[in-house]
Amino acid sequence: MHLVVVGGSDAGVSAALRARELRPGVEVTVVVADAFPNFSICGLPYFLSGEVPDWHRLAHRTRTELEGAGLELLLDHTAMVLHPADHCAVVRRPDGSEHALVYDRLVVATGAAPVRPPIAGLDLPGVHVLHTMADSFRVAAHLADRQPRSVIVVGSGYIGLEMADALTRRGLRVTLIGRAPAVLPTVDPVLGELLVGELRRCGVEVLGGVAVEAIAHRAGQLVVTGHGGVERRADLVLVGAGVRPNAELAATAGAATGTAGALRVDRSMATTLPDVYAAGDCVETWHRLLGRLVYLPLGTTAHKQGRVAGENAVGGRRLFAGSLGTQVVKVFDLAVARTGLREAEARADGFDASTRDLETWDRTPYYPGAAALRLRLTGDRASGRLLGAQILGPRQAEIAKRIDVVASAISCGLGVGELSDLDLSYTPPVSSPWDPVQQAAQAWESMERSAA
């Protein structure tokens, strides 16, 4: 059997490795449009901040390791067209010539592309996006060659926040301009406000509720203008306005698409084309709580979907369990995380949701260094089902562990009350006899009791 995988990042490499692991006899060819297979683009902010000075270190696995696992890598090769009826992908080589690659099964893992918002001047020198290794090399070269002193980051989603943090660390004066009134629209505005406080404390100018309209070159600087007469100047502009699925290859070949134009897949990660699977940022994602397809591009999800696609492409019968949109972001000395549904999202999908906001300590308050944590726990009033949580606190406060406990509880279908029954670990320097997530669960139940 010949398995061809198009895309050599999180989803594609996961699929290829899983296929080889389960069926070592399968011939696996991975077609990669660039020269950076299995690189962690999640690590780009830390390369640009200087925390990871050598970009080679961002490779999850080296080329030699991938080839050692039996993958044939076609680097700098781009899949141009699919002919599903002939089981063939037309691939362009680095020299521009094309050849047909015949497959028995195909996995499409072409990822996402940065959204280009309707802003005049996006192509000016000094204006960058950040999605690929090549993008990061362009920004790194700009930082090294031109020694910019200031940057405007357009977009206050998680990549914008990570870059505001990274470039401040690098010594630049940072202005962050977001269209949404609060930063990080994936968490509730009350937590976004706390993040704004942290950004300002670290010297970042934050402008919310401003739609950027144009970028122009004036007197050696870039001038960014936005709604309401906002005008700021800087030496460098970084645009992080979200991503869109890079689904054209399979869609043009007739694969069905859905939310946001992402490829439609079933839970085996099969597309609507025969013998073609797809995974990662180019596909719709099954949401575990909503029980329907959404678009939720995340590296964690891409790995899992890729593994399922690779397994099924070689004859397996695995189903993707679904995503909860679990995410954690570091912003200077804070970390903020979420999983599941926020109240507004849950209500929009018919849940009778309510949220308990709680401030508590990350460890026993008497132990030196105890720090305040902010938790927001959402449950369904009618059934008591646990729906989601958001947590913000100092980055050392085990925020990720705590959100993962909630994510695990939701995955097991636990009720809010059952979260407080879990046998979680405790020692005074790191937690309390009731972990903060259990305190939040008890507070939610008590709120609901008094409302009844």
Ligand X SMILES: Cc1cc2nc3c(=O)[nH]c(=O)nc-3n(C[C@H](O)[C@H](O)[C@H](O)COP(=O)(O)OP(=O)(O)OC[C@H]3O[C@@H](n4cnc5c(N)ncnc54)[C@H](O)[C@@H]3O)c2cc1C
Considering only residues 37 to 66 of the shown chain, the ones binding ligand X according to CB under 6 A are 41-42, 44-45
Residues touching ligand X: how many (CB under 6 A)?
Answer: 33
Instruction: Give Dmax (Cα) for the chain.
Output: 71
| Per-residue mark of binding to ligand X, 197-236 (x: CB under 6 A) | ----------------------------------------
The reply on whether position 414 binds ligand X by CB under 6 A is: no
Q: Is 202 among the catalytic positions?
A: no
- Of 186, 221, 300, 411, the one binding ligand X by CB under 6 A: 300
Whichever of 41 and 177 has its CB closer to ligand X, that residue is: 41
The reply on whether position 71 binds ligand X by CB under 6 A is: no
Q: How far is the CB of 279 from ligand X (least distance, A)?
A: 7
The answer to whether residues 318 and 337 touch, using CB atoms and an 8 Å cutoff, is no
Whichever of 9 and 390 has its CB closer to ligand X, that residue is: 9
- Of 112, 161, 195, 406, the one binding ligand X by CB under 6 A: 112
- Of 3, 4, 33, 204, the one binding ligand X by CB under 6 A: 33
Q: How far is the CB of 325 from ligand X (least distance, A)?
A: 10
The reply on whether position 131 binds ligand X by CB under 6 A is: yes
The reply on whether position 12 binds ligand X by CB under 6 A is: yes
Whichever of 31 and 194 has its CB closer to ligand X, that residue is: 31
Whichever of 159 and 405 has its CB closer to ligand X, that residue is: 159
Whichever of 131 and 356 has its CB closer to ligand X, that residue is: 131
- Of 4, 32, 389, 419, the one binding ligand X by CB under 6 A: 32
- Of 130, 269, 296, 407, the one binding ligand X by CB under 6 A: 130
Whichever of 302 and 406 has its CB closer to ligand X, that residue is: 302
Region binding ligand X by CB under 6 A among candidate stretches 15-23, 105-113, 178-186, 346-354: 105-113
Region binding ligand X by CB under 6 A among candidate stretches 34-42, 61-69, 285-293, 390-398: 34-42
- Of 29, 110, 156, 378, the one binding ligand X by CB under 6 A: 110
User: Catalytic positions, please?
Assistant: 42
Residues that bind ligand X (CB under 6 A): 6-12, 31-34, 41-42, 44-45, 78-79, 109-112, 130-131, 159, 246, 249, 280-281, 297-300, 302
